[in-house]
Amino acid sequence: MAQLGKVAIVGATGAVGRELCEIIAQRNPTARLSLLASQASHGQEIEVHGRSHTVREVTAESLAKHDVVFFCAGAPRSRQWAPICVEDGALVVDNSSAFRMDPEVPLVVPEVNPWALKPDTRLVANPNCVAAILTVALAPLAKLGHVRRLVLSTYQSASGGGAALMNDLLKETSAYLAETHYEAQIAPHTYAFNLFSHNTPIGEDGANEEEQKVAEETRKIMARPDLGVNVTCIRVPVLRAHSISATVEFEGTAPSVETAREALLSAEGVKVVDFRSANRFPMPSEASGADEVLVGRLRHDPSSPNALCLFACGDQLRKGAALNAVQIAERCLEMRSASPT
């Protein structure tokens, strides 16, 4: 596993930033961390594996001379600072939407499209959390036949909205059980014991921004601009780990369930959880904290001989964000060290 060296995390105080700290400490304990955030967080102390780190404000000086810079502070901050870090010689992995659909910037899930990375790659976009989790489950099936269309429903946890939305869910649930009231700070609707359409703006075609991202980014990751995608994104009262119900339609007759299962069992980053006799399939409670994407409920679509159905769960903060970003950086540095100078 490649060593990351001197690492800066922009947005270190947020949910994804904190998860990045933990994952880097686990996988690259020799990495030297610089934790950066807004001026309001300057001086805050964050403990990472028993060691205290002081958060500094993001400036040109605090960003300078790093080997790897992870951005998880929103698109405006990434657009402002990422090019400066690239110019300074750093490898930049951006978790925001700023560069995802830029044709010059690779959008990468290492288990799915590592070929998009080159030894001289300096800027890589980390995908939308649903697209990352989905494509890990989809890629092994796409090797079995030409996938024509996806019909998806997502069940997205509070972690996708950051620490503030997770806090809303916890406090509103406590208030509900205590028969008191909590005024949500982020959630646009009642969240405890409820679900609602993903809280992003609706476009003229009726799709919200999250649904547009999932469709566009899945096509780019899979290198399939012609892939049909119909997706409905829903917020559910789960703290972390997103779930996806997927119908995968092939150009011709779909592969058998047994063939699909074998492909998934041997796939990198996938754990098959498909126990029909026990009625036990992927659950967000078991995906939370896990690195793998859990896949199950494998079955033929009874309405079409060309389609397979599945259910997948993945930890939004790990494979859907922080872990994928670290894997990208590791893969880039491995390629760089293996490349002849």
pLDDT classification of 341: cutoffs 50, 70, 90: low
Q: Say if residue 101 is in the same domain as residue 153.
A: no
Q: How many domains does the chain have?
A: 2
Q: Are residue 329 and residue 236 in the same domain, yes or no?
A: no
pLDDT tens by residue, 212-247: 999 999 999 999 999 999 999 999 999 999 999 999
According to the model, what pLDDT value does residue 154 have? 98
Residues 147 and 227 in one domain: yes
Shared domain check, 243 and 165: yes
Counting Cβ atoms within 10 Å, is residue 11 exposed (0-12), middle (13-18) or buried (19+)?
A: buried
- Tokens 């790659």 locate to 121
Mean pLDDT of 40-56: 88
pLDDT range class, residue 62, cuts 50, 70, 90: very high
Q: Among all chains, which residue has been given the structure tokens 């910037």?
A: 105
Q: Within 13 Å and on the Cβ side, how many CA atoms surround 302?
A: 0
Q: Is residue 223 part of a domain?
A: yes
The pLDDT, as a whole number, for residue 41 is 86
- Residue 193 vs residues 163, 173, 174, 196, 282: alpha-carbon distances, Å: 19, 8, 11, 11, 21
Q: Is residue 219 in a domain?
A: yes
Annotated active-site residue 189? The verdict is no
Parent domain of 171: 131-316
Same domain, 103 and 135: no
Residues 49 and 159 in one domain: no
Q: How far apart are CA 222 and CA 227, in angstroms?
A: 9
User: Which of 242, 309, 313, 332 is the catalytic position?
Assistant: 242
Query: Is residue 287 a part of any domain in this protein?
Result: yes
Q: At how many degrees (to 10) do helices 209-221 and 129-142 cross?
A: 40
Burial of 173: CB neighbours in 10 Å, binned 0-12, 13-18, 19+:
middle
15: domain CATH number is 3.40.50.720
Are residues 47 and 180 located together in one domain of the fold?
no
72, 129, 309, 332: which is the annotated catalytic residue? Answer: 129
The pTM of the full predicted model, rounded to 2 decimals, is 0.95
**Is the Cβ–Cβ distance between 213 and 219 less than 8 Å?**
no
Q: What SS3 class is residue 170?
A: helix
340 or 85, greater pLDDT: 85
Kindly report, residue by residue over 89-129, the tens digit of the pLDDT.
Answer: 999 999 999 999 999 999 999 999 999 999 999 999 999 99
Q: Is 129 a catalytic residue?
A: yes
Q: Would 53 be classed as within a structural domain?
A: yes
Average pLDDT estimate for 199-223? 95
Question: Among candidates 97, 325, 291, which has minimal Cα distance to 212?
Answer: 97
CATH code of the domain in which 285 resides: 3.30.360.10
Considering the domain architecture, whether residues 77 and 115 belong to the same structural domain is answered as: yes
One domain for residues 158 and 294: yes
> Do residues 179 and 290 both lie within one domain?
yes
- What's the pLDDT score for residue 77? 95
Tell me, yes or no, whether 165 and 146 share the same domain: yes
Query: Which residues lie closer than 8 Å to 96 by C-beta, 6 or more apart?
Result: 71, 72, 73, 74, 75, 77, 78
- Residue 1 binned pLDDT confidence (cut-offs 50, 70, 90): low
- Structural domain contains residue 1: no
Does residue 80 sit in the same domain as residue 177? no
